[in-house]
């Protein structure tokens, strides 16, 4: 059989294109902001992870430009060899200090941070206890490791305890969960998780890609939100959301980070993040520390939209954060509504299985500290118009 036969047989996307509802790979003719240009048309962006609105901040852009002038466009090697800049070292130090941990390590992407951490820290005799709703990068990181993965039902602490009991006492155990779940917009039950970890001798890793810059008074993430920063062993994050750049990171104790730095193949064998990425992330982190009111404004906008959706009678699941799903259930319906909203000048993300369970398709909306009330009202008005159809 031809190995390409699966490619020839794949028709789902072609059928969506033919039906005129294909929702992916829209081309932006502008930078990422609360309003973007798509096909030359002004569009309200409520599908971005630009939570603090810093991708368009002039200070962040200027630091990226300055870094290119000093260091060039790339590093031409891995961190392990010739690819470490003083910018990387400063970024890691600042991240560790900001998140109240000993040390940090920067990866080329957030996806790679989970691959590199989990494949490096978890071995043949270890168990990874993972929430079923965790991000795909966690799932793939578990696959890349030689550890055994036990899944527990989403945010179900009784099922987490069942999974912990299934792991032998003599073996290493790592509980892994998103802090803020990227599709549902709900938050992990960290206090209960901490109690179970202490009871069963497990460590805790939180992927706070959607928590850093979002959760907690100072934007330090889910652990700060719960007042449990000293109880989370490892935090994984990304620069591509609140920190307005590209790359990922892991923070933890000196020994853990030192170990990952020397055994993680995705880290050792990948080129380091570019100078402009490192510099822009550094500046975004500085702004987050200096302007925590951005976090407050982000939540005000999220709460405004949650109230607005409820007033329209739309189902928004169990969202607790500025990530708000609007339930559409069917795949075709999801594509159709997303297209109609885009035609009306509102961009949202259509999400179907396997990103969510079959029959639980949704429109993922997310908000930015720099959205205006006028922009949000415009989006709500278009939701009302489209759903009334």
pLDDT in tens, 22-59: 999 999 999 999 999 998 999 999 999 999 999 999 99
Please report the pLDDT score of residue 389 as a whole number.
86
Distance between CA atoms of residues 103 and 233, nearest Å? 12
Over residues 96-144, the pLDDT tens digits come to 999 999 999 999 999 999 999 999 999 999 999 999 999 999 999 999 9
Please report the pLDDT score of residue 159 as a whole number.
98
pLDDT at 164 over 90: yes
Candidate list 88, 135, 241, 382, residue with the active-site label: 241
Percent of the chain with pLDDT over 70: 100
Please report the pLDDT score of residue 357 as a whole number.
87
Residue of 162, 250, 171, 248 whose CA lies nearest to 203 = 171
Please report the pLDDT score of residue 299 as a whole number.
98
Helix (H, G, I), strand (E, B), or coil: what is residue 351?
Answer: strand
Over residues 359-369, the pLDDT tens digits come to 999 999 999 99
Please report the pLDDT score of residue 37 as a whole number.
96
Over residues 221-277, the pLDDT tens digits come to 999 999 999 999 999 999 999 999 999 999 999 999 999 999 999 999 999 999 999
Residue of 247, 205, 308 whose CA lies nearest to 111 = 247
All structural domains of the chain with their residue ranges: 9-45+292-388, 58-290
- CATH 3.30.420.60: does it fit domain 58-290? no
Helix (H, G, I), strand (E, B), or coil: what is residue 255?
Answer: helix
pLDDT at 354 over 90: no
Please report the pLDDT score of residue 356 as a whole number.
87
Distances in whole angstroms, Cα of residue 67 to Cα of each of 63, 70, 105, 108: 6, 5, 20, 17
**Considering the domain 9-45+292-388 in this protein, what is its CATH number?**
3.90.1150.10
pLDDT at 355 over 90: no
Helix (H, G, I), strand (E, B), or coil: what is residue 123?
Answer: coil
Q: How confident is the model at residue 174 (pLDDT cuts 50, 70, 90)?
A: very high
Q: For this structure, is 182 an active site residue? A: yes
User: pTM of this prediction?
Assistant: 0.96
Distance between CA atoms of residues 23 and 55, nearest Å? 24
Candidate list 210, 339, 371, 382, residue with the active-site label: 210
Q: For this structure, is 88 an active site residue? A: no
Candidate list 182, 264, 319, 366, residue with the active-site label: 182
At residue 307, φ and ψ (nearest 5 deg) are -65, -40
8 Å CB contact between 148 and 123: no
Percent of the chain with pLDDT over 90: 96
pLDDT at 325 over 90: yes
Distances in whole angstroms, Cα of residue 19 to Cα of each of 149, 345, 359: 40, 20, 20
């Amino acid at each position: 059989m031809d190995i390409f036969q699966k490619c020839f047989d794949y028709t789902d996307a072609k059928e969506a294109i033919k039906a005129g509802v294909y929702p992916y790979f829209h081309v932006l003719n502008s930078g990422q902001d609360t309003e973007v240009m798509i096909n030359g048309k002004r569009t309200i962006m409520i599908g971005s992870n630009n939570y603090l609105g810093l991708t368009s901040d002039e200070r962040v852009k200027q630091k990226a430009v300055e870094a290119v002038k000093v260091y060039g466009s790339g590093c031409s090697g891995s961190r392990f060899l010739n690819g470490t800049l003083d910018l990387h070292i400063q970024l890691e130090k600042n991240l560790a200090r900001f998140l109240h941990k000993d040390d940090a390590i920067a990866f080329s992407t957030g996806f790679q941070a989970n691959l590199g951490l989990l494949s490096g820290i978890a071995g043949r005799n270890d168990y990874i206890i993972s929430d079923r709703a965790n991000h795909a990068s966690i799932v793939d990181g578990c696959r890349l490791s030689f550890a055994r993965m036990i899944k527990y039902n989403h945010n179900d602490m009784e099922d987490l305890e069942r999974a912990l009991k299934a792991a032998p006492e003599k073996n290493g155990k790592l509980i892994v969960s998103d802090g803020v779940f990227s599709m549902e917009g709900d938050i992990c039950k960290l206090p209960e998780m901490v109690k179970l970890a202490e009871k069963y001798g497990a460590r805790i890793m939180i992927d706070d890609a959607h928590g850093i810059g979002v959760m907690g008074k100072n934007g330090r993430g889910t652990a700060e939100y719960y007042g449990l920063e000293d109880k989370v062993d490892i935090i994984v994050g990304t620069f591509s959301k609140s920190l307005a750049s590209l790359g990922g990171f892991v923070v933890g104790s000196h020994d853990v980070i030192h170990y990952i730095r020397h055994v993680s193949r995705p880290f050792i064998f990948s080129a380091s993040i570019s100078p402009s990425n490192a510099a822009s992330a550094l500046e975004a982190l500085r702004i987050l520390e200096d302007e925590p009111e951005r976090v407050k404004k982000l939540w005000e906008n999220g709460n405004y939209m949650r109230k607005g959706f409820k007033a329209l009678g739309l189902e928004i699941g169990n969202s607790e954060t500025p990530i708000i799903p609007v339930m559409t259930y069917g795949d075709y319906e999801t594509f159709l509504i997303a297209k109609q909203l885009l035609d009306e000048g509102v961009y949202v993300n259509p999400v179907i299985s396997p990103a969510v369970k079959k029959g639980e398709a949704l429109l993922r909306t997310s908000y930015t500290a720099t959205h205006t009330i006028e922009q949000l009202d415009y989006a709500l008005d278009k939701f009302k118009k489209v759903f009334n159809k």
